[in-house]
Amino acid sequence: MTKLIVDSITELQDTGNFELILTYVLIFGFIQLLSAIASNYQQLISETQSQLVSDYMSTVIIDKAIEVDMSYYENAAFYNTFHHAQRQALYRPVQILRNLSDFIKSTFLLLSLGGLLVFLHWGIALVLLLFALPIAFVKWYYSTKLFNWEKNRTALERESSYLNQVLTTDTYAKEVRIFNLGNILLDRFKGVRRELFDEKYRINNQRARAGVFAKAAEIIAMTLSYAFIAMRTFQGSLTIGDLVMFFGAFQKGQAAIQSLLSAVVGLYNNRLFISHVFDLLNIESLLEQPEHSDPLPSLQNSIQIKNLDFTYPNTDIPVLNNLNLELKKGEVIAFVGENGSGKTTLIKLLCRLYDPTSGKITWDDHDLKNTSLENLRKKISVIYQDFSKYQFTVGENIQIGDFSKTDSAEDLSAAAKQSGAIDFINTFPETYNQNLGRWFNKGRELSGGQWQKIALARAFYKDAELIILDEPSSSIDPLAEAKIFEHFRELAKDKILILVTHRLYNLKIADKIVVLHEGGIEEEGTHQELIELNKRYKDMFEKQGN
């Protein structure tokens, strides 16, 4: 249109016929309008798409985070993969979409402009392409370099995130203040950020320099081509309108070639970065799962641990050695032993957070390995010593034990009663609807012992057949503790209740006490039997001032 306007002005100036020129101008305006509509909608579509894709990818990553075995959370390599995937998943897929649409758009543009440029001189089209290549090469080379750099520096990047977390979350706030850690850790944080900054700056700086050279080559080619067009116009083989059109086409062609090559390079690079996401998505469970698993039947007699050995993945020190133990229905069983003797590990195996290295655990006659994790976990309830404090309501904090229960008001108060939480819950104006924690509005913070009672209520709320309580009363005062232990016998009536505890004076109620030492069972029996045996248990019991 620009060519037509310019040419018609030159031709019709003498005739005084302005109507045709005006028509061209109006058409030109109309095309601009269409283009503006298209570009605004393109922006809308592109932003909507970005939002949808990144929201979708977030859920894919969270899904995977829930699905992976617990063992991955005890492994630094997993955290590296996870950190990468989380960072890349939010924007790389969006960039890939953008690369694809740029690729299509610039291909169309190039095809239409290519005809024009070849018509001028085929050499010009070729020159444009050739001189865009160095720019594409620089982009490709440095993105690959950046990719490798990021991959190698993940651990450092994570260290800085970790320091940030220590300095800014409530979990650490008390110690950060008491031990004056603030400035020390902040300096460490700054050091790590500086190191990362310097290294990345060096790569970006090199890229900028190489980019200038590549661009200079392209500018030379463009200047020569402009000179060629100007000369042809000067010689009269092109009209002024042609000159305007070719200059325009040239600029657009140059932009289109660059955008095409950038899209190709971008696709290549984003494919590299997105590989982190696939590294995460391809993680497979180490736990065997049957393709089809019937619900685990109710426990009739006992859970049996047979010749069980266990070594944590990626380590070579055995933690449990040749363990044999029967846990009978209706029993309260206590695991005791020094720190590191293997109590928590044994519990992890009972819940199938890990599978035994050799030997097996059976639920009556069913090998735990042959049941799905979901079916097994429906049957068990566990409160670990580092139980979670959810910033939800009191009711939800307890119902977390089994969200599938409906009409649960009675069970809720029964569980709260068994754990002793009911006394303070009833003092809250909103009772079970009281928000806990300080993260959200109108939340109420509880003491350590009160939180523990809420966690215990969570374990009791679930109709589980195996209840495992790891240090269930570590923060609870002795009077309340005694009351809770009184309930344990009744609670275990048609279940198995396992206690891991250092507070041996409570264990007279246990049907069986299992003393673990260096990964093996050293003693086994009731409190009275073990006192009479006069070995490690008695020694530990007496050292506690009993």
CB-based burial of residue 514 (10 Å sphere; 0-12 exposed, 13-18 middle, 19+ buried)? buried
In the complex, what is the shortest distance from the CB of residue 546 to ligand ADP, in angstroms, rounded to a whole number?
21
Judged by CB under 6 A, the chain residues 339 through 398 that form the site for ligand ADP are: 339-345
In the complex, what is the shortest distance from the CB of residue 338 to ligand ADP, in angstroms, rounded to a whole number?
7
- Residue from 235, 237, 300, 315 touching ligand ADP (CB under 6 A): that is 315
In the complex, what is the shortest distance from the CB of residue 209 to ligand ADP, in angstroms, rounded to a whole number?
47
Q: Which of 394, 373, 358, 378 is nearest to 298 (CA)?
A: 378
Any contact of residue 503 with ligand ADP (CB under 6 A)? no
Q: What is the DSSP letter of 436?
A: B
On whether the CB atoms of residues 452 and 474 are closer than 8 A, the answer is yes
Output the six-digit token pair for 221: 């080619």
Any contact of residue 453 with ligand ADP (CB under 6 A)? no
Q: How far apart are the C-alpha atoms of 344 and 382, rounded to whole Å?
A: 11
Any contact of residue 311 with ligand ADP (CB under 6 A)? no
Any contact of residue 139 with ligand ADP (CB under 6 A)? no
Cβ proximity to ligand ADP: between 280 and 500 the closer is: 500
Cβ proximity to ligand ADP: between 135 and 459 the closer is: 459
Cβ proximity to ligand ADP: between 343 and 462 the closer is: 343
CA angle 466, 482, 533 (to 5 degrees): 75
Any contact of residue 316 with ligand ADP (CB under 6 A)? no
On whether the CB atoms of residues 111 and 63 are closer than 8 A, the answer is no
Cβ proximity to ligand ADP: between 106 and 501 the closer is: 501
Any contact of residue 472 with ligand ADP (CB under 6 A)? no
Q: What is the DSSP letter of 401?
A: G
Any contact of residue 95 with ligand ADP (CB under 6 A)? no
Q: How far apart are the C-alpha atoms of 70 and 72, rounded to whole Å?
A: 5
In the complex, what is the shortest distance from the CB of residue 75 to ligand ADP, in angstroms, rounded to a whole number?
8
In the complex, what is the shortest distance from the CB of residue 343 to ligand ADP, in angstroms, rounded to a whole number?
4
In the complex, what is the shortest distance from the CB of residue 279 to ligand ADP, in angstroms, rounded to a whole number?
21
Judged by CB under 6 A, the chain residues 32 through 61 that form the site for ligand ADP are: none
Q: How far apart are the C-alpha atoms of 334 and 525, rounded to whole Å?
A: 10
Three-class SS state of 525: strand
In the complex, what is the shortest distance from the CB of residue 342 to ligand ADP, in angstroms, rounded to a whole number?
5
Judged by CB under 6 A, the chain residues 317 through 346 that form the site for ligand ADP are: 319, 337, 339-345
In the complex, what is the shortest distance from the CB of residue 55 to ligand ADP, in angstroms, rounded to a whole number?
33
The phi, psi pair for 270, rounded to 5°, reads -65, -30
Three-class SS state of 496: strand
Cβ proximity to ligand ADP: between 88 and 341 the closer is: 341
Cβ proximity to ligand ADP: between 81 and 99 the closer is: 81
CB-based burial of residue 375 (10 Å sphere; 0-12 exposed, 13-18 middle, 19+ buried)? middle
Cβ proximity to ligand ADP: between 144 and 321 the closer is: 321
Cβ proximity to ligand ADP: between 329 and 343 the closer is: 343
Any contact of residue 312 with ligand ADP (CB under 6 A)? yes
On whether the CB atoms of residues 241 and 10 are closer than 8 A, the answer is yes
Q: Which stretch binds ligand ADP (CB under 6 A): 176-184, 311-319, 367-375, 488-496?
A: 311-319
Site string for ligand ADP, 58-87 (x = CB under 6 A): ----------------x-------------
Cβ proximity to ligand ADP: between 50 and 344 the closer is: 344
In the complex, what is the shortest distance from the CB of residue 203 to ligand ADP, in angstroms, rounded to a whole number?
36
Cβ proximity to ligand ADP: between 457 and 469 the closer is: 469
DSSP letters for 131-181: HHHHHHHHHHHHHHHHHHHHHHTHHHHHHHHHHHHHHHSHHHHHHHHHTTH
Q: Which of 377, 350, 361 is nearest to 295 (CA)?
A: 377
H-type alpha helices, 323-461? 343-350, 373-379, 394-399, 409-419, 422-425, 448-461
Q: How far apart are the C-alpha atoms of 221 and 133, rounded to whole Å?
A: 12
CA distance readout (Å), 351 to 222, 343, 436: 70, 13, 28
In the complex, what is the shortest distance from the CB of residue 500 to ligand ADP, in angstroms, rounded to a whole number?
7
On whether the CB atoms of residues 245 and 116 are closer than 8 A, the answer is yes
Cβ proximity to ligand ADP: between 41 and 73 the closer is: 73
Q: How far apart are the C-alpha atoms of 172 and 45, rounded to whole Å?
A: 43
By rule CB under 6 A, what count of residues binds ligand ADP?
12
In the complex, what is the shortest distance from the CB of residue 382 to ligand ADP, in angstroms, rounded to a whole number?
13
In the complex, what is the shortest distance from the CB of residue 320 to ligand ADP, in angstroms, rounded to a whole number?
8
Which residues here bind ligand ADP, judged by CB under 6 A?
74, 312, 315, 319, 337, 339-345
